[in-house]
Amino acid sequence: MPAPDSLSDLRVRYARILGQLDTLIEYSRELARRFNGIVPETKAQVNAAPIFIKQVCHAISLRRLMPAQIDGGPRELWDAGSVCALARCVIDAYDALAYFALDAVTEEERDFRELLSDLHDQERRTKMLDFIGSTQPEAITIRANALALRVRARVHPFFARVGKTSQQKIAQGDAPQYYLSQRERNQVGGIDHRHYLSATIYLSQYVHTTPMAINQWRHFKAGGINEVRVMMLSMQHALPYFAKGVHAIMVMFPREDEVPQTVADVLDFWLPVAEGGVPGRGPDPRSASTS
């Protein structure tokens, strides 16, 4: 049985993972700048840009909350709940990116996915307005939009191909955002479902303030071994999905320039993890380059 990590070992690992996050953030900024002046050629590209930028913003915010030093440097806030929430946002952003932009589906199906998502949004807004008893003109408009979108969804050519449960929810005014289950979306998107569940369940315990999170907070000590692990795990859970997002944009918006070796190394390390593999044993991410 291997010996447990010492605090010095954890400091080295923490610094390495923090550096990997920095590398992807820096390169993702460059990828985001590629959107300027580019006329999207497909609806998938139209959808990909804002979702990826959202993922990048979550990663940047996660990085800003990570302690810069874990060895007794300047006093910093160790906010485990917030970093876990942001890590979960990074994962969820990739889920949306795959569903709305990356999956190889027909334009008819992609159109229905967007229509269903819009319907879900308008129905949720309607419910929120109903909860507060809003009588504002905007509330009337939102209710009308929801009704019109529901009609469009039910007559859409792809409606007959979704499951009966989704059809019933749409008809009853309770449209789901996705008509595929999480397991189905992970399968299509090349994500290992068990890894996804492990990551999201762990992070959600801090997001939702479960007993485990409360008990840990009672004994939380910034700079301790367990506390360093908690902060580090948030990055370890987010990085595979951030890497998936970065690599997807590299493929969708290719350029002639060479992918920096530092970026290729980070992608090669983390891409296989979300797919159920082992860090550092994936395909060469530089294959996304057209050079």
Q: Give which of 249, 248, 255, 251 is closest to 274, Cα–Cα.
A: 248
What would the pLDDT profile of 122-153 be if each residue is shown by its tens digit? 999 999 998 998 888 888 999 999 999 999 99
pLDDT at 227 over 90: no
Range with the poorest average pLDDT among 10-14, 15-19, 35-39, 185-189 = 35-39
CA–CA separation, 261 vs 254, rounded Å?
16
Domain boundaries, given as residue ranges, for the chain: 7-106+181-193+222-288
Residues 51 and 46: their CA atoms lie apart, in Å, by 10
Please give the pLDDT value at position 34.
Answer: 80
Task: Read off the pTM.
Answer: 0.88
**Does residue 101 carry a pLDDT above 90?**
yes
Which of 48, 14, 15, 10 minimizes the C-alpha distance to 32? Answer: 48
- Arithmetic mean of pLDDT, 235-263: 92
Cα–Cα dist 259/262, whole Å = 8
Is residue 279 very low, low, confident or very high in pLDDT (cuts 50, 70, 90)? low
pLDDT at 278: 56
Task: Judge whether residue 256 has pLDDT over 80.
Answer: no
Give per-residue pLDDT as tens, 160-210. 999 999 999 999 999 999 999 999 999 998 899 999 999 999 999 888 888
CB 208, CB 235: distance < 8 Å: no
pLDDT at 287 over 60: no
